[in-house]
Structure 1
Amino acid sequence: MLTAIAGRTDRVRLGTTVTALPRRRPAKLAREVLTLDHLSAGRATVAEKVALRPPPVQSPRVPVWVGGSTQAGAVRRRAARADGIVPYKLTDTDGWADFTPDEVRDLVAAMPPTRADGQPFDVAIGGRRRRPDERAERAYLRELAAAGATWWLEYVPVGDPAAMRAAVARGPLR
Structure 2
Amino acid sequence: MSDAKGQDRGGRIELNRAGGGKLELKPTVEQGTVRQSFSHGRSKAVAVEVKKRRIGGGTATRKPSAGGGRSEGGDKPSGEREVRRPSRQDQGGKSGRGPVVLKPLTDEEKKVRLKALSEARKNEEEARKRAEENARRAAAELARRKEEEAAAAKRKEEENARREEEEEARRKAEEQAAKLLAEEEAR
| TM-score bin, normalised by smaller chain | under 0.3
Higher Cα Rg, which structure: 2
What TM-score comes out, normalization by structure 2 length? 0.19
What TM-score comes out, normalization by structure 1 length? 0.20
Higher helix share: 2
Structure number with the bigger relative contact order (C-alpha 8 A, sep ≥ 6) is 1
